[in-house]
């Protein structure tokens, strides 16, 4: 098995802490290589009093599996003196550089998957990087045009038609082709693990899914025609359903995945179920990428209380997607 690459995320956030806590659990059972800042990792390791030896390597191929050793590819050198808990250009550039390097290793076949710790959108902006999040970086640097975000947990899976954009722009972008594209992506992503076509429920855009045109016409003009086209292609899909009930129907077994029309429509119900349970999967990429379902948590950096369970779930999901068993809980 090739290493799983973990990007440290924004060095001013909790990324180093959750990466090290995860590594302490699984380092001797899963081949890992961390991409990030060795100085920040060392400082955080000492603060947490973890018995981990950080070993700088030049490539994933050099990452060994010695007990107690965590291989690190130094993609930045902001150093242990970087201010924490605040957005900054240097931190944003460092976070981007780690992701960019991981994408290169994935495209070259040197790693089995990428698992990402959180980056900060303001830090990216301050660094002059025109990306609202990981998803767009991953797509652009891998040359992927057909992609979207899927949030997955034991309780619920959600895929998004539109992702990181203002609500008024997201609504304007919703059309038949974009909905059909996401249905195809969801089917392709889930069919291998489910062993059958996933049952896909499509959310409406308006309250009560438009109430037959009384509360909006998008369901009649756009969403239902997209569902009809998908069904004609053989997909197990239905809708549009009222957004205030479709997620509960999925959670109780009615659907394997819900197609949400915009970011908060899908992520509010998903995250309400618990950040520690969820994982972000970018589907449509030529490699496996999973991520935590939370942000950089600047308010708790350095306190030693960051919860690494979402990163553990992201690692387990990545292993499942590359056909490897997840390690037992410690």
Predicted local confidence at residue 324, as pLDDT: 78
Q: Does residue 277 have a known ligand-binding role? A: no
On the question of pLDDT at 276 being above 70, the answer is no
Predicted local confidence at residue 275, as pLDDT: 62
DSSP string, 36-74: EEHHHHHHHHHHHT---EEEE-SSGGG----TTEEEEEE
Q: Does residue 294 have a known ligand-binding role? A: no
More confident residue, 327 or 199: 199
Q: Does residue 2 have a known ligand-binding role? A: no
pLDDT > 70: what percent of the chain? 98
Average pLDDT over residues 134-159: 92
On the question of pLDDT at 66 being above 70, the answer is yes
Distance of CA 174 to the CA centre of its chain: 22
On the question of pLDDT at 330 being above 60, the answer is no
Average pLDDT over residues 229-246: 97
Query: What are all long-range contacts of 41-44, with beta carbons under 8 Å and residues at least 24 apart?
Result: 41/8, 41/16, 41/72, 42/80, 43/16, 43/80, 44/16, 44/17, 44/20
More confident residue, 194 or 206: 206
Q: Does residue 271 have a known ligand-binding role? A: yes
> Which is nearest to 1 in space by CA: 316, 325, 328, 330?
325
Predicted local confidence at residue 1, as pLDDT: 82
- Give pTM, 2 decimals: 0.85
Predicted local confidence at residue 329, as pLDDT: 66
Average pLDDT over residues 30-54: 94
Q: Does residue 308 have a known ligand-binding role? A: no
Predicted local confidence at residue 277, as pLDDT: 73
Predicted local confidence at residue 46, as pLDDT: 95
In the chain, the domains with their CATH numbers are 1-146+285-330 (3.40.718.10), 154-273 (3.40.718.10)
Q: Does residue 263 have a known ligand-binding role? A: yes
Element containing residue 116 per DSSP (H, E): strand 113-116
On the question of pLDDT at 6 being above 90, the answer is yes
How far is Cα 220 from Cα 183, in angstroms, rounded to an integer? 18
């Amino acid at each position: 098995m090739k290493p799983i690459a973990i990007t440290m995320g924004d060095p001013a956030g909790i990324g180093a802490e959750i990466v090290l806590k995860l590594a302490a659990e699984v380092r001797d059972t899963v081949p890992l290589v961390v991409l990030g800042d060795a100085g920040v990792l060392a400082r955080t390791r000492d603060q947490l009093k973890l018995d981990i030896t950080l070993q700088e390597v030049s490539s994933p191929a050099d990452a060994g599996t010695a007990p107690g050793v965590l291989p690190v590819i130094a993609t930045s050198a902001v150093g242990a003196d970087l201010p924490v808990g605040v957005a900054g250009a240097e931190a944003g550039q460092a976070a981007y550089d780690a992701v960019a390097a991981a994408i290169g290793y994935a495209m070259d076949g040197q790693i089995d998957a990428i698992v990402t710790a959180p980056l900060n959108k303001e830090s990216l902006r301050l660094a002059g990087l025109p990306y609202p999040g990981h998803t767009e970086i991953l797509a652009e640097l891998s040359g992927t045009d057909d992609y979207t975000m899927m949030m997955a947990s034991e309780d619920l899976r959600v895929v998004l038609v539109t992702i990181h954009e203002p609500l008024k722009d997201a609504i304007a972008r919703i059309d038949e082709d974009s909905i059909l594209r996401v249905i195809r992506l969801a089917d392709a992503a889930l069919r291998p693990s489910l062993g059958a076509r996933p049952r896909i429920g499509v959310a409406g855009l308006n309250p009560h899914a438009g109430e037959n045109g009384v509360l909006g016409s998008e369901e009649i003009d756009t969403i239902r025609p997209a569902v009809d086209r998908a069904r004609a292609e053989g997909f197990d899909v239905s809708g549009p359903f009222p957004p205030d009930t479709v997620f509960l129907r999925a959670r109780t077994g009615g659907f394997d995945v819900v197609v949400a029309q915009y970011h908060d429509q899908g992520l509010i119900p998903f995250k309400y179920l618990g950040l520690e349970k969820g994982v972000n999967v970018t589907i449509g990429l030529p490699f496996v990428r999973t991520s935590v379902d939370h942000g950089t948590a600047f308010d708790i950096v350095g306190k030693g209380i960051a919860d690494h369970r979402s990163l553990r779930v992201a690692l387990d999901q990545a292993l499942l997607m590359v056909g490897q068993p997840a390690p037992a809980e410690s």
